[in-house]
């Protein structure tokens, strides 16, 4: 499912539960970004239009879309590595505290 798109020279995003509702990218806030990050982390079906400078005529949308696209693309491409790293970090901590409780 597509969550970021470029249409009419502007960037748009949508969240779960708002399949038909697209919001202009200049309205995004940190909670929206966190929700999109959770969606991207929990599904293999997170899609977004590729960033193309020429398609985004609105300067604010261009900057926002470019930054989000680059970061999310990196996250999606390295999702397995990120999850392994997090699991490894917490695994060591859990083992440490289990030993202390015994």
Q: Number of helices (H) and strands (E), helices first, in the chain?
A: 3, 4
- Per-residue pLDDT of 66-96, as tens digits, reads 999 999 999 999 988 888 887 788 887 778 8
Q: Where are the domains of the chain?
A: 2-101
- Per-residue pLDDT of 12-56, as tens digits, reads 999 987 778 999 999 999 999 999 999 999 888 899 999 999 999
What's the whole-model pTM score? 0.78
């Amino acid at each position: 499912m597509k969550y970021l798109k470029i249409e009419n020279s502007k960037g748009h995003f949508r969240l779960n539960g708002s399949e038909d509702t697209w919001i202009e990218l200049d309205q995004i806030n940190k909670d929206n970004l966190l929700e999109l990050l959770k969606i991207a982390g929990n599904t293999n079906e997170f899609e977004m239009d590729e960033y193309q400078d020429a398609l985004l005529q609105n300067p604010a949308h261009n900057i926002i879309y470019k930054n989000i696209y680059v970061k999310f693309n990196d996250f999606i491409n390295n999702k397995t590595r990120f999850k392994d790293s997090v699991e490894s970090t917490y695994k060591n901590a859990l083992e440490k505290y289990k030993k202390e409780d015994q």
